[in-house]
Amino acid sequence: MFDALIEFFQGTAFELWGPFLILLACGLGLPVPEDIVLIVAGVLASEGGREWVPVAAVMYVGVLSGDSMIFLAGRFFGTRLLALAWVRRLFSPAKQEKVEYFFERHGAKGLFLGRFLPGLRAPIYFSAGSMKVGYLKFLLLDGFAAIISVPVFVWLGHWLWERFHADIAAFHRALDRTQSYALVVSIAIAVLACAGAIWLWRRHRAKAG
């Protein structure tokens, strides 16, 4: 999939907007791993001589837009969509049970944690919409998580391609080694950010009291 996306968009006018459109399509049910798309965006940015930061900003908007499509589909068409066979294949009863348990355990903060659970991300957002979670709350929590994870994967693709573009086999080996590490780094940053926010909130309350 990675090689196919690179080959399809490389050297075209869609080096930037191609991955963006795929991220939107993911919100419509396209079964493509988001992390791979973000790494591809970083590779294409490096290949096209672009800095990774503005590309990450564009991908961030694409991620939030795709996530919002999933959330709003749950909000307005929840139970009706679950009656469709192709939706049940994407959101099986087993996944529904996992998501229900996930929300029972984590509540609203599950919207933040869902960003780091690729297999359950879409079902979590769909369920949040069908459960009438406020859209602004969803956007805030998902946006906070995405602003951590999106730049990490775009940067990873950009950085690896700058170093290994002359040796595709070496690039793939490096990507295999570092992709899971990037996810771990994203989760670690997210945990530290949450811990810092909780500490500041408790400190503020203690001073106010």
Whether residue 80 has pLDDT greater than 80: no
Spans of all domains in the chain = 2-161+171-208
Q: What is the mean pLDDT of residues 181-200?
A: 63
Q: At what angle do helices 121-130 and 135-164 cross, to 10 degrees?
A: 160
Phi-psi region for residue 31, left (φ > 0), alpha (ψ -120 to 50) or beta?
beta
Q: Which tokens sit at 160?
A: 């690896």
Give pTM, 2 decimals: 0.79
Closest C-alpha to 111, from 157, 47, 67, 53 = 67
In angstroms, rounded to a whole number, what is the distance separating the alpha carbons of residues 64 and 66?
5
Q: Which tens digit of pLDDT belongs to each residue from 105-118?
A: 776 677 777 777 77
Lowest mean pLDDT among 58-67, 75-84, 128-137: 75-84
In angstroms, rounded to a whole number, what is the distance separating the alpha carbons of residues 187 and 182?
9
Q: In the chain, where does DSSP find H-type helix? A: 2-9, 17-26, 34-47, 52-82, 85-90, 93-106, 110-113, 121-130, 135-164, 168-208
